[in-house]
Structure 1
Amino acid sequence: MLKQLNSIRYMYIRSHLYGLILNIFILLAVLLSIHVWFEPSWLSPGAILFFILSYLIVGFFMSIYAGFKSSGDMKQRFDYISTMITQLSRGEFSSRIYFNENDEVASLGDELNELGEKLQQQKESLLKLADEKAELARSAHKAATIEERQRLARDLHDAVSQQLFALTMMAQATGKVFDKNPDKAKKQLEEITQMALQAQTEMRALLLHLRPVHLSGEPLTEGVSSLIEELKQKCPLHFDVQMEEMDEISRTTEEQLFRVVQEALSNILRHANATEVKVNLTHSKDEMFLHISDDGAGFDPDEKKSNKASYGLKSMKERCEEIGGVFTIRSREGEGTHIDIRVPIAVQSKEESK
């Protein structure tokens, strides 16, 4: 009810009623002045009261009628504008509105038409950009796949392939000296065992990269837990895992952090020669913290001794920066490696959760 009384039609009616009241006061003042100054016989107090009441009654109905009629055109034009805004909000940017009058309302309609044209142009530009982005994403995915295959091929050739070749040569040599020098053969068999274990570790680290990058709908904590449980069954490592449940991080953040954990564990398997690995995931109101450490051989971060290690660290740092995080690594030879990641919490959107 109050909303209707605040509509433009009632505003016109009220303005006419205000004008009526103002006119009544002016007429009353004039009639009373004439009565006091000139005292005409025909202008008695009763006649003044009768005239004012008659004027008030007739003027009241005339004000309502005039306000209703005069506001009809304006209300209709505002209804057109409201419909235009509703259509624009629904994405119907081709809608247009035109007025024959040349006033402020018509100027407002022209501005809405210009807004619709600009929104239509932006929509077309966004569609074009979306197509280009999709094409770039496909190209980037293809290039990344090729690069990852080439890297895995290099790693297999540089590590596992050479170790298998060395194992073959040592096995052949051991077979030749087994009868002549059993002690030397036994020592070579121990070396062969160590090299086989190292090749096995290298292979497991490489297979870790072949796991799915995406979490397949799983939360980050469950994905990391599954990964570590799998490694526990295959590797002689002790894992100390402490992770807090988090429901407000975006899927993109979860996937990137999962890939970082994969890369970090792969580096530990291949280069650290560690016996214990710690993974801690905590969060505050605005940030989440991921800590990964090992008690392995460690290294000097300022000296890039291995292209493979350098590639892994660079990849982890880039993934953290993509989600607005900060990547910090601390390591010394013989004292293990510590990785600390701080990432702002981005609330998961409805589109991402679908």
Structure 2
Amino acid sequence: MERSPTIRNWIFKSFFMMAVMATLISFVVLQIYLFISDNEGLSLSLSIYLTIALFLILLLLSVYFGFRTSYTFKGRIDDISTFVTLLRSGKFSARVEGDEQDELGILADELNQLAIYIQEQVKSLQRLADEKSELAEQAHGAAVMEERQRLARDLHDSVSQQLFALNMLSSAAHKSIGKNPDKVEEMIKQVAEIAAKAQGEMRALLLHLRPIDLKGESLCEALTILIEEIKEKTKLEIEATLYGMENLSKGTETHMFRIIQESLSNILRHSGATKVKIMTEKKEGFVTLYISDNGKGFNLKESKMTSYGLQTMRERAEEIGGYFQIRSKEKEGTYIDLRIPV
């Protein structure tokens, strides 16, 4: 809208310069004619008057045609400018009207085609948003179902079997009271061991169910809280050295937190460890994570643990472009190394 007055002034200026140039050319031509024809009937003063009259006539014509041309030109420019403003405000159904086939008409047609294209793109984006919402709901439902099935499987494979063993041992101990005290004492020891193991399994499952949302906390703060919770509820000694986790993306923080959470859950459930060491640092464009325990270790090729827990950690590491490596040996503990580019 601000350029229209400038364009109008430019048009007026152009017509005015045309009038001046036409007057000068006419004056020069007239003088040449007088010189060649040696016409004494026309004096210099009369030729000047004629030139001035011609200039005034041309000036009036330039003002008239300049105003007429600039008015039409300005109106078409204003229409296009208003249309662009409407597009910027989101009114993609607006169109520029005009049947002229000059440059401005071609520009108006191109803008109309652009508006149609943007309108179609908006409809496509809305459809994609709807489809994304539906897919998100389906994915959430599938994830919930998968997690329920996994928990049911874990409970059946571990806690339910341990509870069944507790029931059998306690029944046998009850029947042996007064008959075989030494056997009862041994059974009670087994009951205590199985109960402690079942308790560890349940704590690990509850740890795994801890929400992955960091709730506005930094990764370092969330890990500190998680480690303190485990220390309070278990006898596990955890040594944590957490550095270099500043300015990580939200996705990287979430995946790193989930990997550490899954590692601690596996340690509680399977390793029988009493000490765990967690280290993070940033160097050479990478954030590195190191987790070790003094547990019983396992065979990577034979352990059932690799079927879900470790595979999930590996997939999470790959999703953020990280390199995941695990080393374990029976009776020597387990070691996890993670390196993530930042």
TM-score by length of 2: 0.80
For residues 204-243 of structure 1, the aligned pairs below 5 Å read 204-235=203-234, 236-243=236-243
CA distance, structure 2, for counterparts of residue 108 and residue 95 of structure 1: 15
Aligned to 1:92: 91
Look up the SS of the partner of 1:98 in the other structure. coil
Aligned to 2:292: 294
Structure 1 residues 27 and 213 mapped into 2: Cα distance closer, same or farther (>3 Å)?
Answer: same
For residues 24-63 of structure 1, the aligned pairs below 5 Å read 26-27=25-26, 29-31=28-30, 33-34=32-33, 37=36, 40-41=39-40, 59=58, 62-63=61-62
Shift of 1:84: 1.7
CA distance, structure 2, for counterparts of residue 74 and residue 198 of structure 1: 87
Aligned to 2:280: 280
Deviations 1:142-175 (A, max 9, x none): 1211111111011011011112222333444556
Contact 1:80/1:97, CA 8 A, preserved across alignment: yes
Aligned to 1:338: 336
Look up the SS of the partner of 1:331 in the other structure. strand
CA distance, structure 1, for counterparts of residue 37 and residue 299 of structure 2: 113
Structure 1 residues 16 and 309 mapped into 2: Cα distance closer, same or farther (>3 Å)?
Answer: same
CA distance, structure 2, for counterparts of residue 59 and residue 271 of structure 1: 102
Q: 1:312 aligns with which of 277, 295, 309?
A: 309
Deviates more, 1:113-122 or 1:4-13: 4-13
Contact 1:304/1:310, CA 8 A, preserved across alignment: no
Aligned to 1:116: 115
Shift of 1:219: 3.6
Shift of 1:196: 2.8
Look up the SS of the partner of 1:339 in the other structure. strand
Name stretches of at least 5 consecutive residues in structure 2 with no aligned partner.
Answer: none
Shift of 1:126: 2.2
Root mean square deviation of aligned Cα: 3.5
Structure 1 residues 172 and 93 mapped into 2: Cα distance closer, same or farther (>3 Å)?
Answer: same
Contact 2:12/2:66, CA 8 A, preserved across alignment: yes
Structure 1 residues 95 and 4 mapped into 2: Cα distance closer, same or farther (>3 Å)?
Answer: closer
Shift of 1:283: 8.2
Q: 2:321 aligns with which of 319, 325, 336?
A: 325
Look up the SS of the partner of 2:93 in the other structure. coil
Deviations 1:196-215 (A, max 9, x none): 33222211111112222323
Contact 2:245/2:287, CA 8 A, preserved across alignment: no
Deviates more, 1:152-161 or 1:260-269: 260-269
CA distance, structure 1, for counterparts of residue 281 and residue 54 of structure 2: 83
Aligned to 1:73: 72
Look up the SS of the partner of 2:340 in the other structure. strand
Q: What amino acid sits opposite 1:209 in the alignment? A: H
Aligned to 1:82: 81
Contact 2:291/2:337, CA 8 A, preserved across alignment: yes
CA distance, structure 2, for counterparts of residue 213 and residue 343 of structure 1: 22
Deviates more, 1:141-150 or 1:47-56: 47-56
- Of all paired residues, the percent bearing the same amino acid is 37
Contact 2:4/2:77, CA 8 A, preserved across alignment: no
Aligned to 1:349: none
CA distance, structure 1, for counterparts of residue 246 and residue 340 of structure 2: 15
Shift of 1:233: 0.9
Aligned to 1:106: 105
Deviates more, 1:203-212 or 1:52-61: 52-61
Structure 1 residues 141 and 103 mapped into 2: Cα distance closer, same or farther (>3 Å)?
Answer: same
CA distance, structure 2, for counterparts of residue 46 and residue 270 of structure 1: 117
For residues 245-284 of structure 1, the aligned pairs below 5 Å read 246=246, 249-250=249-250, 252-274=251-273, 275-280=275-280, 282=282
Name stretches of at least 5 consecutive residues in structure 1 with no aligned partner.
Answer: 345-354
Structure 1 residues 45 and 128 mapped into 2: Cα distance closer, same or farther (>3 Å)?
Answer: same
CA distance, structure 1, for counterparts of residue 333 and residue 35 of structure 2: 111
Structure 1 residues 68 and 206 mapped into 2: Cα distance closer, same or farther (>3 Å)?
Answer: same
TM-score by length of 1: 0.78
Shift of 1:132: 2.1
CA distance, structure 2, for counterparts of residue 83 and residue 120 of structure 1: 18
Look up the SS of the partner of 1:99 in the other structure. coil
Deviates more, 1:21-30 or 1:65-74: 21-30
